[in-house]
Structure formats: C-alpha cells, structure tokens
Amino acid sequence: MKILMLTWEYPPRIVGGIARVVHDLSKRLIKDGHEVTVVTYREGETPYFEDDKGVKVYRVDNYMINPNNFIDWIMQMNFNLLAKANEIIDKEGKFDVIHAHDWLVAYAAKSLKNSYDIPIVATIHATEAGRNSGIHDETQRYINDTEWMLTYEANEVIVNSNYMKCELQRNFGLPFEKINVIPNGVNLTMYSGIERDYGFRRNYASDNEKIILYAGRLVYEKGVQYLIGAMPKILQNYHDAKLVIAGKGGMIDELKAEVDHLGLGNKVYFTGYMDHKSLCKLYKCADIAVFPSTYEPFGIVALEGMLSGNPIVVSDIGGLNEIVEHGVNGMKSYAGNSNSIADSILTLLFDHKLCNEISKNAKAKVKELYNWTKIAQDTHFAYQKAICETMAERQAKQIAQEKAAKVKKMKGEEKEVSKLLEFRKRQAYA
C-alpha cells in the first residue's frame, strides 16, 4: 500500500507529540511492507529530502509570502505541501490513501482528495475546544471549523482514546462508526543501553534529593503551574525533593516568577529544551514522573515515563485516565488541584514497595498495549476501510450515472414515440 503522510512536524522538528507518532508509525508500516512518503514543513538546515530508513521524507519551506499571522502561515504551508505532493504524484503515481495529521494540513489533504480521488484518513490528536475549554475568539473558531471540515472530508477518523471519540462526536456530530480508537505508542527500545548516570544526575539535583520530573511543553493545559503549587506541601513533609522541569513554552517566565514567589528557587530546576537522548537519560535519573495536565487527549510522555521505570502521577482526566489505574500502574490526582498532586507524590516518596509494584505493572502494560506493531496493524485496517468506502462510493456514483443515462435515454425514446403517434394521428385525420 502506498501511503502519504501529511504533517506539520517530523523529526528533527518536534513541536508536540505528532512528530513522534508520525515517525514511529511510518517506520512500523515500512517494516510491514508498505510504502510511506511523508510531506512536512522544513525547519533550519534539515534536508529537503531524505530517506529515513525507508521512509521518504520531503520538506517544504514557507518562503513565498511574509504571513501576517499564524493562520496565514498555516495556509501558506498548505499551499506548499500541496505543490510538493502534486509533484510527487506526477512522478511516482497516485497514493492509495492520505493520512492527514490534525487541522494544520487539512486544506492540502482536501485538495488532494478532490483532485485525485484518494481517500483520507484523518488523525485528530487534540481539539481547539478541548485545549481552550471552549471557543472564545475568531482564531479559535477558525481552527474549530477547520477541524470539523477535516473530519467531514475524511473517510475514516482516528483518535487516540475513548475520551477523544466522545469529544469529536459531541463537538462535530461525527457518527461513532466513523471514529477509530487507536492509541499512540512508544518506542519500546528508547531506553536501551541507558542506565542511571550519577554524574549526569548531579547537574540537576544532589545525591540525597529525590527528583520529581515533569517533561513536556510549558503551556497552560499541561498543568505545570499546579505541580509547582504542590511543592511547598511536598517539601514540608519530605525535604529532600527536587522538581526538575524539562521543556520550553510560552509560560516559562510566568512559571519562573511563581517559583520565586513561593521561595522555591533552590528546589525547582528548569532545564529548557532537551534533545531526545538527554531526556531519556534524565528519565533514568528521576524518581517520580508527573503529568498534571488539565486537558490531555492521550499523553505519550506518560507512556515514556512508565517505560522508564519511574512511578508516575497523572491527572484523572482524558486519555490519561484510560492509561493509568490508580495504585496499580500509576497514581492519579484531581486535575488542577495542587493539594491532590502533592498527596499522590508524597505517597510514592514514602512507600518504596508501592513504587516498585507500580513500576513493574506500568512497564508490562506499555509493552502489551502500546507497541507500534499492534498500532500499525489497526491503522492499516482503518486505511483499508477508507479505501473500500471510496470504491463503494465510486461504484454507487457509476450506478447512479448509468441509471440517469438509462432514464434519459428512455425519456428520449418515449418522446420520439409520442412524436410518431402524434404524426400518425394527424395523418389519419388528413
């Protein structure tokens, strides 16, 4: 099967979780014998084309127009993605299916579908309404409408949790049977050869301090502010603890100001952006990983935390709620509640037996349910459904056209007979 992936991020450009999903899924599909082409945005000095271990990756610039805002930038990117995809199709022939990842590539996907009659499978990784607890301005409304358009145009829609399935049905009126729940996965070998490095660990905490790790974007919906708010209670009960925050985002200055306000300067460390290898090393040096999101359709980082061997604490919300069973393979806390976060972390800090049991169970669950072999098989099934639906639509259209032509022909014949009868009638009275 020839598959075209449309995405605005692909390694080494990593903005959120989409890049890793597209990368790992593509690699697995290649192993299963499929042909995968990725068309994405180019950033920095990355090559315009590369063969990424079998995955053909084409990158485009946004160089034609100076955009006035983010929406204009996205539209320009779509024009360039579309132009590149057209070029590839002209040289290598049609794809069997287009896999569009989120609203950012919706217009390119729709244009290709209409131009070449190629089915679309769309993965909605998150919604604008979910991220912002509703739609509050025109930009958000535009994004929300584009998400609706993509789900409408798609033959099949993929979401990563039952929570998201309900959200799409509620927000866009999608029929349940059109929505496929396929979780994200994690590279099971990502920590291979990586052990706890005490020299590396001392860059962030002293040997006697337990590292509480947050890894992810520093934006409101990730809930880092509530984790910082939990630290005074944690330190009051367990002094030898250190919060390490790995990532970047628009809230960085606000979060640092809150740390200063609470007097936590020597107990909270901001690493800034970390490359994948360094982050893996940090996970292996941590003692607890925390993901305090207020909105989370899935949570790949939670899987990475579970696989690292750290006991994790997550918000009891969205996809995280489906991944973690409280006290079995992780701990839960109320979303947006610093006191609840502190209680779950303190439970782990004081109960080593529970930590070991949770870590063991978490690893087992990740390996069983969130491996890319199974996920790729389920995704391929969604592709097949989309292709079959398109073929059925073509056949139905052809039958309708043939029927219309037949009716038209019969009406023409009836008209000719009527004319003949009228002529004979006039002849009889002549």
pLDDT at 300: 84
**All residues at 6 or more sequence positions from 121 whose CB lies less than 8 Å from its CB, including other chains:** 97, 98, 99, 100, 154, 155, 156, 157, 158, 379, 382, 383, 386
Structure tokens at 68: 């006035």
Distances (CA, A) of 427 to 149, 413, 414, 421: 62, 21, 20, 10
pLDDT at 363: 93
Query: Where does 179-330 show beta strands of DSSP type E?
Result: 179-181, 210-215, 241-246, 268-272, 288-291, 312-315
Q: In terms of C-beta density within 10 A (0-12 exposed, 13-18 middle, 19 or more buried), how is residue 327 classed? A: middle
Domain 198-358 in CATH 3.40.50.2000: yes
Residue ranges in the chain whose pLDDT is less than 50: none
Q: Please name the CATH architecture into which domain 2-181 falls.
A: 3-Layer(aba) Sandwich (3.40)
What residue spans in the chain does CATH classification 3.40.50.2000 cover? 2-181, 198-358
pLDDT at 108: 97
Per the omega criterion (within 30 degrees of 0), is the bond before 12 cis?
yes
pLDDT at 423: 62
At 396-424, the pLDDT tens digits run 666 666 677 676 767 766 777 677 667 66
What span, in angstroms and rounded, lies between the C-alpha atoms of 344 and 363?
A: 19
What span, in angstroms and rounded, lies between the C-alpha atoms of 233 and 238?
A: 9
The one-character DSSP state at 211 is E
pLDDT at 229: 97
Q: Which residue, among 30, 26, 307, has the nearest Cα to 192 in the 3D structure?
A: 307
What span, in angstroms and rounded, lies between the C-alpha atoms of 313 and 12?
A: 29
What span, in angstroms and rounded, lies between the C-alpha atoms of 27 and 21?
A: 10
